[in-house]
Structure 1
């Protein structure tokens, strides 16, 4: 007597060994979408309603401008995992294993410095001096509110009395550390990941750089077409 065969379970898709953390600029994305919408509106209107050479000039301008706007606003991103840092800038994609990273540096811009001395700017993590100043003011108020003396003088001569911070009173938020600008927090996280993973065997390798021909090609074609049209006009 035979027993019915049990069907084998369906194979499961492979689970990625390493999960990327993606960092992008929300302000850059919003600005890029707005610029592309305006450009598409003006360009399509010129192509449809224009006369003479106008449609061709508009088409060439769109072919040049759209890739560049996309490259500088929507494209930049930073992908980080336990093994490497992948930096997608407007015209290049740089992959740096953590073992090849010397330092992540913040100044007027955020950048990663390789052990070879080469620097790569992190376009997706822009520095906001305004956000830093705002965070510094919030940190000063937080410290003033925690002052055991119950009174502390802030910038501009303003004071806090009774050990309370009037700007944050009633928020119910618990202080877990120094107040930092959002991009500075991201850089802190990347530095911590680098420190813990730089000696790992899987985080070793060579730095690779790939040019974004999908951006450079259309932009170059648009520039050539626009130059020809203007020169022959």
Structure 2
């Protein structure tokens, strides 16, 4: 069983980030395929080296980020690191201009929970409108808004959910332990190889 399967009770990721990453990879693959098929001289090799360099970075920043949450801990998968945080080690989860978790005296960003100031303002307007039209929250307008139009921005709601999980399970026996960090060498290594190959090919003219 992989670590991601162990923490896959709930997951938090950015659908827009994934869609953008897939689109960019598809465009890059098409351009490189065309260069390999029709290019001359060093062009196919430069294109392949550029793909080897760029593809892992695109995956790292768009498709890879996710937060997995279970009853015992959260697994934060950022572009170049995976951080395992038992709930008892979580000090707080918060969202300002970015989403982050404080644990073990350190701060880690949650790349898969991007903060959108526009979404936050839109949710605030919806909440204000619902309150103004029915300050007691009993009218049909407020009742309709609650299930259909969230009064919290997605990032703020995800942070609230993670904070609630941390508070609920912090005292569980299985939720104790130390924060551990693992570098994503499966991303770093191919990008480094591609970067070196690209630099050598460009330097060779």
TM-score over 0.5 for the pair: yes
Structure 2 residue corresponding to 1:95, chosen from 84, 93, 96 = 84
Query: What stretches of structure 1 move > 3 A for 4+ residues in a row?
Result: 16-19, 174-178
Q: Does 1:48 align with 2:19?
A: no
1:178 CA drift (Å): 7.6
Query: 1:120-135 alignment to 2 at 5 Å?
Result: 120-135=108-123
1:17 CA drift (Å): 8.7
TM-score normalised to the size of structure 2? 0.90
Q: Unpaired runs of 5+ in structure 2?
A: none
Q: Distance in 1 between the 2:126 and 2:74 partners?
A: 31
Q: What root-mean-square deviation, in Å, do the aligned CA atoms of Structure 1 and Structure 2 show?
A: 2.3
1:67 CA drift (Å): 0.5
Q: Distance in 1 between the 2:77 and 2:125 partners?
A: 33
Query: What's the counterpart of residue 107 of structure 2?
Result: 119
Query: What's the counterpart of residue 65 of structure 2?
Result: 76
1:48 CA drift (Å): 1.0
Number of residues of Structure 1 aligned to a counterpart in Structure 2: 199
TM-score normalised to the size of structure 1? 0.80
Provide, for residues 149-191 of structure 1, a one-character-per-residue CA deviation record: whole Å limited to 9, x for no partner: xxxxxxxxxxxxxx989xx69xx72637981011211111111
Query: What's the counterpart of residue 96 of structure 2?
Result: 107
Alpha-carbon spacing, 1:173–1:196, altered in 2? closer, same or farther (3 Å): same
Q: Does 1:224 align with 2:205?
A: no
Q: Unpaired runs of 5+ in structure 1?
A: 1-15, 149-162
Provide, for residues 14-41 of structure 1, a one-character-per-residue CA deviation record: whole Å limited to 9, x for no partner: xx99762011100000100110011011
Conservation of the 8 A alpha-carbon contact between 2:7 and 2:68: no
Q: Distance in 2 between the 1:19 and 1:58 partners?
A: 37
Alpha-carbon spacing, 1:220–1:94, altered in 2? closer, same or farther (3 Å): same
Structure 2 residue corresponding to 1:137, chosen from 102, 122, 125 = 125
SS at match of 1:123: coil
Larger gyration radius, structure 1 or structure 2: 1
Greater relative contact order, per chain length (Cα 8 Å cut-off, separation 6+): 2
Query: What's the counterpart of residue 146 of structure 1?
Result: 134
